Structure 1
Amino acid sequence: MNKLFLIGILLLWNLGYTQEVAVAKYAGGGDWYANPTSLPNLVKFCNQNINTTINSKVATVEVGSAEIFSYPFIHMTGHGNVVFSANDVINLKNYLTSGGFLHIDDNYGMDEYIRKEIKKIFPDNPLTEIPSNHQIFQEPYSFPSGLPKIHEHDNKKPQAFGIFIEERIVLLYTYETDLGDGWEDTEVHNNPQYVREKALKMGANIINYVFKN
């Protein structure tokens, strides 16, 4: 039933209905609410530049709730601990195998926790680094070197990892880039305009991939 429901939502969006996206709320003590202006700014950028019709009111949804099936794209971020309960794991797996998409953006400090939780969802399907020639880096904006660096932490290269099901990315984990910082209001991090633009364009590529695949 969940799969048919999500397919129905996607068909309605393809007919021109307003799309909706959400921020994931999770347990464990990590600040799931970090970067509050990020996703609204990305939505605004996409609606203005890549012809999406996403609702400007971004929702918040708990990862263990059936409500996640109402959103084809869910964004998750934070700096600290993440814990998925048994119910969260089942719910997220059903969501992702039914056509949903989860983008996890490490806001620094999340990596050691989130990798273990992702493994709970897909114990036999490990995170795979996404090559720079993948379509998610090609359209509508070109990133020939792959994931851009937005916010420096440990002088490590930015990496994009994915969980693939039938060649489609269903879970995207972006590490050592901090895309969400680049999506935030300018005064939050005082990033130069060209850095914010890179972040927003990469975010638009992610949104484009979700709604076209």
Structure 2
Amino acid sequence: MLLAGWTNARSQSVKIALLKYGGGGDWYADPTALPNLIAYCNQELHTNIHPEPSTVEIGSTEIFHFPFVHLTGHGNIVLSENEALNLKTYLEAGGFLHVDDNYGLDEFFRREIKKVFPNRELVELPPSHPLFHKKYNFSEGLPKIHEHANKQPQAFGIFIEERMVCLYTYESDLGDGWEDPAVHNDPPEVRERALKMGANIISYVFSQ
């Protein structure tokens, strides 16, 4: 299994990665987001995640070195047949994918994830799901970080048996909230809310 578990995430250094994809979308969006989330988790959850995230291509065998990969952007994603198969194999082997909609990603992600799992659905997570209560309590579910639209934020999961292998956070924009304070000038309480939700994600993933 790729996921070493919560004990190992706390006792030995693990690395997480940003996914690089084709299709023209800005896979590199929110460059300070993951480093800030890692620093927050290492401080507040006492994890031992390497402070600098790596970048890995979806079709690369290097993806199997990372128990947690993150995908974001504002635009198009295109997965080749080999990339879809590699991602499927990675997730079935114990890896985890977090996809954060940075506004403009939704239609493309939903299309491409069907290449990976044509027979699995994105299941909406209710506010009672453990993801929202792992470390910090989010009684209403996924928080709204940026008000780009009036749509309700939603969290969706893809499951293999009872294990969540993919989390899709939609209409929330967690990654923007993780960025350096000067990037979006978010109030401290908004940024803290985003980081706490991110910490819940890390805690949940490494304790499944």
TM range (shorter): over 0.9
1:134-172 Cα shifts (integer Å, max 9, x gaps) = 110011001011000001112100000110111221100
In the alignment, structure 2 segments of 5+ residues that lack a partner are none
Q: 1:152 aligned to 147, 151, 161, which one?
A: 147
Secondary structure of residue in 1 paired with 2:143: coil
**TM-score normalised per structure 1:** 0.94
Aligned match of 2:19: 24
Q: 1:189 to 1:166 in 2, by over 3 A?
A: same
Distance 2:155 2:89 in 1: 23
Q: 1:159 to 1:75 in 2, by over 3 A?
A: same
Aligned match of 1:139: 134
Counterpart amino acid of 2:144?
Answer: K
Q: Residue 72 of structure 1 contacts residue 99 of structure 1 at CA under 8 Å; is this kept in 2? A: yes
Secondary structure of residue in 2 paired with 1:177: coil
Distance 1:83 1:35 in 2: 20
Q: 1:63 aligned to 50, 58, 67, which one?
A: 58
1:93-115 Cα shifts (integer Å, max 9, x gaps) = 01111110000001010111110
**TM-score normalised per structure 2:** 0.96
Q: 1:128 to 1:19 in 2, by over 3 A?
A: same
Q: Residue 22 of structure 1 contacts residue 58 of structure 1 at CA under 8 Å; is this kept in 2? A: yes
Aligned match of 1:89: 84
Q: Percent identity?
A: 61
Q: Following superposition, which runs of at least 4 residues in structure 1 exceed 3 angstroms of deviation?
A: 9-12
Secondary structure of residue in 1 paired with 2:62: helix
Distance 1:135 1:11 in 2: 15
Distance 1:19 1:81 in 2: 30
Given the alignment of the two structures, is residue 180 of structure 1 paired with residue 175 of structure 2, yes or no? yes
Secondary structure of residue in 2 paired with 1:83: coil
Secondary structure of residue in 2 paired with 1:109: coil
Aligned match of 1:202: 197
Distance 1:198 1:11 in 2: 22
Aligned match of 1:99: 94
Q: 1:190 to 1:17 in 2, by over 3 A?
A: same
1:41-76 Cα shifts (integer Å, max 9, x gaps) = 000000000110000011000011111111111011
Aligned match of 2:30: 35
Q: Residue 68 of structure 1 contacts residue 95 of structure 1 at CA under 8 Å; is this kept in 2? A: yes
Q: Residue 10 of structure 1 contacts residue 72 of structure 1 at CA under 8 Å; is this kept in 2? A: no
Number of matched pairs: 208
Aligned match of 1:78: 73
Q: 2:39 aligned to 36, 44, 60, which one?
A: 44
Secondary structure of residue in 2 paired with 1:171: strand
Given the alignment of the two structures, is residue 167 of structure 1 paired with residue 152 of structure 2, yes or no? no
Distance 1:13 1:33 in 2: 28
RMSD of the TM alignment (CA)? Answer: 1.5
